[in-house]
């Protein structure tokens, strides 16, 4: 594989020339602005809402919960209201909506609404939620509980040479997409048009169809979307509902545009997690059994927590073959902002926990971390925790071996250990740690990770994604799909796949606007499924177009044309694709997805093929810690990804670099705390993501091991690069300090505390 | 900014002073606006905005004399960084300017803004303190500006002695003896650029035959105000630093600062690390390594 300068992103030119129109750039005549009055308390009873008589309420439109017939956002559980009616369940929960012709009036109106709350006890700690008297969801505050069993964990325990236990935790993470949430609703007589920044137009349509009880036709159109990372998967359904309610009542188009502070304070975050894991191992470090307990903090409402939990549970054994497994996973409710989709979707939490457990095994048995990993890596023909036998495209060992060799892991591990020893010794003695001005503690860490491509379990068979390809009058194939471009390269990937199938120039392929009145529901743009699942439909559609064009041409001419790399050829004549296609303008093909029948999953007993295939990655992070200030930086980052087939090589490399850096952010930069139930961050100044200056030297390699059912062998890529980055970085900190770092993120302040603890122990 | 607000863009000091005289406060004096514009509420509430970057003297003055340089309060950091005389004679100032925000911020942000904004985390402030800068405050009366030191201007986070009609006009920095001079500016933030300091430390001193003739030490972000650490300086002055003496200095600076825990860091980390950064600077300056 190598770079191809002609394979640039199809959306790049418009973005570079600032011609791309995001929702805030659109000129919408008569546009009003909407906003929500939000609860300041994590849990309270709404006693009254009063509207100050000194304000002229004719100037604005107000909506409260009472007016909403179907006051729930249709998602998995329908538990989240558009507006709280009696009880608010998190600080920031919307209570009243207001719209006005300008922002000044809107603000003024907001100041004249008074909501009286009676504060109620609340629960913020996910481990206390289950047994709390505070009931947020059902009797036990559990959104979902999953049990997976394989083999006989008792047998593993009895045969164990060592029993290794570890508790680990991960924190919130904010998406920090460049463009904050923004949606506009435009009311018409029997219809409402929703236009905005989003990943999943059909999710919004389903939620609003339900909200309006079918009384309005809902059209959802995606505007150019400036980043999402999962943050625009579930949340825009709530926001679009707000815009639509205000638009219908006021009769004006209404914009719900968040500024950065509102965006980081009230939109979804990555699920925090808590793991209590036990590994039963033999004396060489071979894992005989894993007994894993997983908690995810779902926040006040369910959103997608059940599926996030499923992915966490199904990823919990990592890239390892384990004969005996018991997993108990729970997603619980707390009085915090609902957690939602975020790149990796439960996978990063699970992989962090298992990778740290591996570190602990190595630590306990006095082995190098790579030795324990290598011994346990899963291979073709072996089975996962659900009994899924990996029959094809398995590359845990290949990626691992490659990245270890390229990074020279073993040699550096030994060299750095030796170099660190005197610095550490002095540090722990409490004397000046440096021998030379530029002395640094150098760590090298590693991780292996995987990501199940496509929806979890039977999801794809439920959603039955559908696409259409139609030949237009100019003889150009037009793709109709609901997949969205959010900066990840979806448009480029879909065009490339169809162009390659038809052997024609990419410039001949068109994509329809993502508008639910025009495009079929090909499923949401999530779960690393677009290239692999929707791409496979495009390959089928392309092949059918060729065969149907050939048939038509032959029956019309009485000759026997066959298709050769973009041309129809019959021995005498050769005619281009476009010329033939133009003759049969209007011809269209529809394709609907279902898993190949060989892929089977039982989501009641949690047995079988949880994912049609996995993508694989291994990473090595070289980390430097300043022994004076404990500042942490990643100096070099090596990763090898096996993704079946790279549809666009440059874009795949960019995805891997960006995802890795985001994962490094998760490890050592990005921290969200709670203050009185509120997130303590306001935006870019206090939520620190790594900038280009923090980008390590990156060395990325892509391996290809085709998935027989993917387009040209391609598997999912979008989320995978994120998953293994944090454990690789933290593995390097274990290596430096010989100390179990089990909580993400790790800050210099944490290293300072650890060193102080180690000092006290030594003394 | 609210629609009804007035923005003044005086061309020179004379016009600036006239605007101040003829209008009713409060005024919002602004230069690069790198801090104000990103604070939605404060920016919206900003009344009678006076843009100091339009005042030619304040925006352009970078006057080098024999013994000092006078810098307009609205001169962007990047011009200071590029000035060859400043680079040669005031490297510590250039180093601080380089560590502020990012290149974009350095193109807009100014020393005047950093002072008037009065954030304890302002990266230029400890450096201006150790350089013993004179801050010229306008309007001038009979051609004379009020002159203050940096630690006299800032009274607390966001608080200064500036009256509502007063503005920072110039920063005058004396050139110091270069013979035997040593200096350091260290900033500790959560990332390599665009980070508000968890702590910072400026040290400027002079050696003669291995003896500290004079030393000035000032920290940032670890107290509500910008203060020189005179008791720490006293420990080192007229001495030949060794490990024991430096340990005493580190103990003293721990007592001289009063950090807090906030979203950026913890009180304990800040106190410990400020002292260790001082130790690091002194060990490196005096090449004390236990080899």
Whether ipTM > 0.90 holds is: yes
Inter-CA distances, A356 with A172, A272, A623, A680, A728, Å = 18, 16, 17, 28, 10
For the segment A502-525, the average pLDDT, to the nearest whole number, is 97
State whether residue A628 sits within 8 Å of chain B by CB.
yes
Question: pLDDT band for position B291 (50/70/90)?
Answer: very low
pLDDT average, residue stretch B158-174:
97
Residues near A444 by Cβ (< 8 Å), separated by ≥ 6? A407, A409, A412, A413, A416, A620, A621, A622, A623, A732, A735
| Contact list, A690 vs chain B (CB under 8 Å) | 191
pLDDT of residue B42: 83
User: Could you report the per-residue pLDDT of A149-197, keeping only the tens digit for each?
Assistant: 999 999 999 999 999 999 999 999 999 999 999 999 999 999 999 999 9
Contact A296, A310 (CB under 8 A): no
User: Do A502 and A627 have their domain in common?
Assistant: no
Q: Looking at residues B19-38, what average pLDDT do you find?
A: 94
| B215-237 confidence digits (pLDDT tens) | 999 999 999 999 899 999 999 99
Tell me the H-state helices in A584-670. 649-668
Residue A627 lies in a domain: yes
pLDDT, tens digit, for every residue of A237-261? Answer: 999 999 999 999 999 999 999 999 9
User: Closest chain B residue to A671 measured between Cα atoms?
Assistant: B263
pLDDT of residue B3: 58
B291 vs A contacts (CB less than 8 Å): 435
pLDDT at A7: 84
DSSP string of A479-490, one letter each residue? EE-----SSS-H
Confidence of residue B4 (pLDDT cuts 50, 70, 90): low
pLDDT at A763: 61
Judge if A342 and A383 occupy the same domain: no
Tokens of A587: 């011809």
Tell me which residue in A629, A680, A693 faces B263 most closely, judged by beta carbons.
A680
Residues A489, A566: one domain?
Answer: yes
CB of A261 less than 8 A from some CB of B: yes
Whether residue A693 and residue B193 make contact (CB cut-off 8 A), yes or no, is: yes
* Chain A partners within 8 Å of B2 (Cβ): 104
CATH architecture of the domain covering B7-174: 2-Layer Sandwich (3.30)
Residue that terminates a domain, selected from A568, A593, A618? A593
Domain ranges across chain B: 7-174, 181-285
> Quick one: A427 and A542 in the same domain?
no
Could you tell me which residues come within 8 angstroms of residue A381 by beta carbon, excluding any fewer than 6 positions away?
Answer: A389, A390, A391
A680 touches chain B (CB under 8 A): yes
pLDDT 10s digits, A629-648: 999 999 999 999 999 999 99
Split at pLDDT 50, 70, 90, the class of A27 is: very high
Give residue-wise pLDDT tens across range A200-238: 999 999 999 999 999 999 999 999 999 999 999 999 999
Q: Is the bond leading into B139 cis (omega within 30 degrees of zero)? A: yes
CATH of the domain at A414: 3.30.365.10
Among A335, A350, A365, identify where a domain stops. Answer: A350
CB-CB contact of A512 with A484 (8 Å): no
> Which of A635, A748, A750, A753 to probe by mutation at the B interface, max B CB count within 10 Å?
A748
Instruction: Give the pLDDT mean for A565-577.
Output: 97
The B-side interface with A (CB below 8 A) comprises 2-3, 38, 40, 102, 188, 190-196, 198, 243, 263-266, 268-269, 272-273, 276-277, 279-280, 283-284, 288-291
Q: In 3-state terms, chain A is what percent helix, strand and coil (to 5)?
A: 35, 25, 40
Residue pair B97/B81 in contact (Cβ under 8 Å)? The answer is: yes
Site from B191, B247, B279 to mutate, A interface, most A CB atoms within 10 angstroms:
B191
In-domain check, residue A224: no
Q: For residue range A719-755, list pLDDT tens digits in order.
A: 999 999 999 999 999 999 999 999 999 999 999 999 9
Contacts of A436 in chain B (CB under 8 A): 289
- Chain A positions in Cβ-Cβ contact with residue B251 (cut-off 8 Å): none
Has residue A239 been placed in a domain?
Answer: no
Phi, psi of A619 (to 5 degrees): -140, 150
> Is residue A51 a part of any domain in this protein?
no
> HSE of A348 in the Cβ direction (CA atoms, 13 Å)?
32
- How far apart are the CA of B168 and the nearest CA of chain A, in angstroms? 26
- Find, in chain B, the residue whose alpha carbon is nearest to that of A696: B192
Q: d(Cα A303, Cα A333) in Å, to the nearest integer?
A: 11
For the stretch A370-411, pLDDT in tens is: 999 999 999 999 999 999 999 999 999 999 999 999 999 999
Domain presence at residue A67: no
Name the residue range of residue A740's domain. Answer: 377-455+606-762
Answer whether residue B23 shows pLDDT above 60. Answer: yes
Q: ω into residue B29 within 30 of 0, thus cis?
A: no
Q: Are residues A480 and A442 in the same domain?
A: no
- Which segments of A379-444 does DSSP mark as H helices, in order? 396-407, 409-429
Residue A111 has pLDDT above 70, yes or no: yes
Whether B279 sits inside 8 A of A628 (CB atoms) is yes
Size of interface A-B (CB pairs under 8 A): 73
Statement: residue A576 has pLDDT above 90: yes
A432, A435, A690 ranked by CB distance to B279: nearest: A432
At B289 the pLDDT is 65
Residue B261 has pLDDT above 80, yes or no: yes
A669 in B contact zone (CB under 8 Å):
yes
Q: Cβ contact (<8 Å) for A633 and B264?
A: no
The CA distance from A652 to A645, in Å, is 10
Q: Is residue B116 within 8 Å of B207, Cβ to Cβ?
A: no
Domain boundary among A297, A315, A350: A350
Distance CA(A97)–CA(A94), nearest Å, equals 8
Please check the confidence at residue B290 and state whether its pLDDT lies above 70: no
Find out if CATH 3.30.390.50 is the number for domain B181-285: yes
Query: pLDDT, tens digit, for every residue of A92-102?
Result: 999 999 999 99
* A235 domain-assigned: no
CA B215, CA A681: separation in Å to the nearest integer?
39
For residue A273, the number of C-alpha atoms closer than 13 Å in the C-beta half-sphere is 35
Query: pLDDT tens-digit profile of A296-323?
Result: 999 999 999 999 999 999 999 999 999 9
Q: Is residue A240 part of a domain?
A: no
- Same domain, residue pair A493 and A540: yes
Q: How many CB atoms lie within 10 A of CB B255?
A: 12
Average model confidence (pLDDT) across chain A? 97
Q: Would residue A344 count as lying in a domain? A: yes
- Give whole-number Cα distances, B171 to A93, B72, B137, B138, B167, in Å: 48, 6, 9, 12, 12
Q: How confident is the model at residue A676 (pLDDT cuts 50, 70, 90)?
A: confident
- For tokens 């298709």, the residue is A563
């Amino acid at each position: 594989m190598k770079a191809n300068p002609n394979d640039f992103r199809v959306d790049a030119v418009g973005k570079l020339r600032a011609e791309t129109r995001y929702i805030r750039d659109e000129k919408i005549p008569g546009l009003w602005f909407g906003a929500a009055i939000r609860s300041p308390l994590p849990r309270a009873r709404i006693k009254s809402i009063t509207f100050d008589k000194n304000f002229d309420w004719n100037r604005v439109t107000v909506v409260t919960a009472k007016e909403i017939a179907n006051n729930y956002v249709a998602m998995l559980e329908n538990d989240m209201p558009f507006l709280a009616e009696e009880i608010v369940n998190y600080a920031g929960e919307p209570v009243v909506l207001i719209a006005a012709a300008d922002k000044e009036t809107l603000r003024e109106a907001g100041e004249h609404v008074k909501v009286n709350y009676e504060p109620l006890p609340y629960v913020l700690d996910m481990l206390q939620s289950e047994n709390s008297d505070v009931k947020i969801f059902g009797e036990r505050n559990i959104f979902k509980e999953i049990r997976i069993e394989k083999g006989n964990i008792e047998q593993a325990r009895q045969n164990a040479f060592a029993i290794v236990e570890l508790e680990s935790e991960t924190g919130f993470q904010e998406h920090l997409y460049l463009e904050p949430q923004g949606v506009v609703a435009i009311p018409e007589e029997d219809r409402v048009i929703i236009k905005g920044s989003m990943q999943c137009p059909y999710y919004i349509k389903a939620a609003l169809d339900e909200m309006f009880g079918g009384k309005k036709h809902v059209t959802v159109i995606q505007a150019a979307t400036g980043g999402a990372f999962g943050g625009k998967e579930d949340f825009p359904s709530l926001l679009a509902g707000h815009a639509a309610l205000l638009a219908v009542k006021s009769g004006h188009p209404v914009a719900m545009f968040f500024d950065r502070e509102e965006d980081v304070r009230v939109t979804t975050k990555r699920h925090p997690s808590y793991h209590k894991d036990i590994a039963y191992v033999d004396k060489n470090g071979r894992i005989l059994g894993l007994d894993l307990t997983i908690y995810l903090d779902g926040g006040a409402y369910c959103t997608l927590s059940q599926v996030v939990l499923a992915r966490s549970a199904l990823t919990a054994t990592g890239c390892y073959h384990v004969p005996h497994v018991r997993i108990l996973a729970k997603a619980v409710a707390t009085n915090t902002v609902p957690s939602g989709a975020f790149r990796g979707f439960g996978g990063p939490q699970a992989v962090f926990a298992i990778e740290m457990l591996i570190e602990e095994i190595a630590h306990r048995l006095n082995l190098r971390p790579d030795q324990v990993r290598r011994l346990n890596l899963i291979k073709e023909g072996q089975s996962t925790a659900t009994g899924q036998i990996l029959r094809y495209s398995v590359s845990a060992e290949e990626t691992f071996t490659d990245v270890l060799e390229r990074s020279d892991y073993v040699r550096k591990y030994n060299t750095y250990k030796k170099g660190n020893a005197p610095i550490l010794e002095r540090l722990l003695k409490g004397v000046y740690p440096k021998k030379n001005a530029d002395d640094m503690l150098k760590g090298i860490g590693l991780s292996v990770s995987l990501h199940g491509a496509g929806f979890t379990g039977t999801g794809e068979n439920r959603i039955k994604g559908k696409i259409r390809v139609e030949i237009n009058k100019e003889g150009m194939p037009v793709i109709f799909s609901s997949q969205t471009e959010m900066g990840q390269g979806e448009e480029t990937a879909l065009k490339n796949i169809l162009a390659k199938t038809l052997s024609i120039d990419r410039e001949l392929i068109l994509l329809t606007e993502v508008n639910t009145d025009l495009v079929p529901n090909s499923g949401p743009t999530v779960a690393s499924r677009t290239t692999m699942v929707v791409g496979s439909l495009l390959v089928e559609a392309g092949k059918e177009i060729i065969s149907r064009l050939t048939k038509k041409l032959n029956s019309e001419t009485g000759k026997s044309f066959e298709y050769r790399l973009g041309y129809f050829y019959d021995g005498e004549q050769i005619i281009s694709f476009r010329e033939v296609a133009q003759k049969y303008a209007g011809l269209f093909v529809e394709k609907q997805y279902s898993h190949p029948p060989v892929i089977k999953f039982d989501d009641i007993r949690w047995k079988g093929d949880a994912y049609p295939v996995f993508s694989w990655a291994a990473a090595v992070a070289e980390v430097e810690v300043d022994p004076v200030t404990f500042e942490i930086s990643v100096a070099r980052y090596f990763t090898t990804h096996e993704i079946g087939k790279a549809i666009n090589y440059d874009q795949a490399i960019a995805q891997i670099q960006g995802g890795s850096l985001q994962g490094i952010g998760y490890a050592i930069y990005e921290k969200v705390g709670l203050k009185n139930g509120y997130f303590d961050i306001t935006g870019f100044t206090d939520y620190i993501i790594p900038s280009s200056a923090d980008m390590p030297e990156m060395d990325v390699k892509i391996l290809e091991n085709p998935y027989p059912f993917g387009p040209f062998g391609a598997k999912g890529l979008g989320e995978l690069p994120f998953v293994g980055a944090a454990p690789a970085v933290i593995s390097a900190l274990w290596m430096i300090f010989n100390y179990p770092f089990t909580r993400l993120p790790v800050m210099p302040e944490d290293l300072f505390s650890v060193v102080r603890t180690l000092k006290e122990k030594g003394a | 900014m609210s629609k009804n607000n007035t923005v003044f863009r005086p061309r020179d000091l004379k016009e600036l002073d006239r605007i101040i005289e003829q209008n009713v406060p409060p005024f919002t004096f602004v230069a690069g606006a790198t801090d104000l514009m990103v604070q939605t509420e404060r920016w919206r509430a900003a009344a009678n905005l006076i843009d100091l970057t339009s005042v030619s003297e304040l925006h352009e003055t970078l006057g080098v004399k024999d013994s000092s340089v006078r810098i307009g309060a609205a001169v962007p950091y990047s011009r200071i960084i590029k000035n060859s005389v400043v680079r040669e004679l005031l490297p510590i100032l250039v180093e601080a300017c380089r560590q502020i925000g990012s290149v974009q911020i350095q193109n807009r942000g100014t020393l005047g803004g950093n002072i008037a904004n009065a954030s304890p985390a302002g990266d230029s402030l400890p450096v201006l303190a150790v350089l013993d800068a004179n801050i010229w405050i306008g309007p001038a009366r009979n051609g004379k500006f009020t002159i203050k030191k940096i630690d006299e201007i800032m009274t607390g986070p966001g608080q200064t002695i500036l009256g509502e009609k007063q503005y920072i006009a110039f920063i005058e920095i004396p050139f110091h003896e270069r013979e035997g001079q040593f200096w350091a500016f260290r900033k500790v933030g959560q990332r390599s650029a665009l980070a508000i300091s968890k702590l910072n430390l400026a040290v400027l001193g002079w050696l003669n035959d291995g003896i500290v003739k004079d030393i000035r030490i000032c920290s940032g972000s670890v107290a509500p105000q910008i203060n020189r650490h005179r008791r720490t300086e006293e420990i080192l002055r007229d001495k030949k630093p060794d490990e024991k003496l430096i340990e005493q200095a580190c103990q003293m600076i721990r007592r001289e600062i009063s950090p807090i825990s906030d979203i950026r860091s913890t009180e304990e980390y800040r106190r410990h690390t400020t002292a260790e950064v001082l130790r690091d600077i002194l060990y490196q300056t005096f090449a004390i390594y236990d080899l």
